[in-house]
C-alpha cells in the first residue's frame, strides 16, 4: 500500500483575518449594580493601574474606582457629602 495514494486533504483553520493578524475580542460591559453610581459619574479616561476617576455629582470631588476594591470609599463620601438625606434613603431602600 502506498501512502501517496491514501492521503487525505487537510484544511487549515485559522481565527485570523485576511491580513494574518488576530482580532482582539471585545470586552463585554457590565451593568453597574451599586447605588453609588446615582451619585457619581465615571470619567472616560483611565488612570494608572486601570483605576477609573469618578466625580461626585454634588461637590465635584474626584475618587478613584477600582473594580477589585469595590465602592466602599464612595459610600463613605456620599454619607459625609449628602448627610442625613442619603442615610434616610439608604435605610428605606432595604426595608422588607
Model confidence over 18-69: pLDDT tens digits? 666 777 777 777 778 888 888 999 888 777 788 889 999 999 999 998 888 8
User: The C-alpha cell of 10 is what?
Assistant: 487537510
Q: In what order do the strands lie in the sheet with 62-65?
A: 40-42, 52-56, 62-65
Q: Which residues of 15-46 are buried (b: 16+ CB within 10 A; e: fewer)?
A: eeeeeeeeeeeeeeeeeeeeebeebbeeeeee
Q: How do the domains of the chain map onto residue ranges?
A: 35-83
Using the predicted structure, report yes or no on whether residue 70 has a pLDDT greater than 90.
no
Q: Which residue has the higher pLDDT, 33 or 77?
A: 77
Residue 15 and residue 59: Cα distance in Å, rounded?
49
Amino acid at each position: 500500500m502506498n501512502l501517496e495514494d491514501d492521503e487525505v486533504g487537510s484544511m487549515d483553520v485559522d481565527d485570523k483575518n485576511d491580513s494574518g493578524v488576530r482580532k482582539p475580542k471585545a470586552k463585554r460591559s457590565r451593568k453597574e449594580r451599586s447605588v453609588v453610581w446615582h451619585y457619581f459619574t465615571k470619567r472616560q479616561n483611565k488612570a494608572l493601574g486601570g483605576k477609573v476617576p469618578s466625580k461626585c455629582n454634588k461637590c465635584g470631588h474626584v475618587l478613584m474606582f477600582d473594580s477589585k476594591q469595590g465602592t466602599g470609599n464612595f459610600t463613605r463620601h456620599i454619607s459625609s457629602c449628602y448627610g442625613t438625606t442619603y442615610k434616610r434613603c439608604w435605610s428605606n431602600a432595604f426595608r422588607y
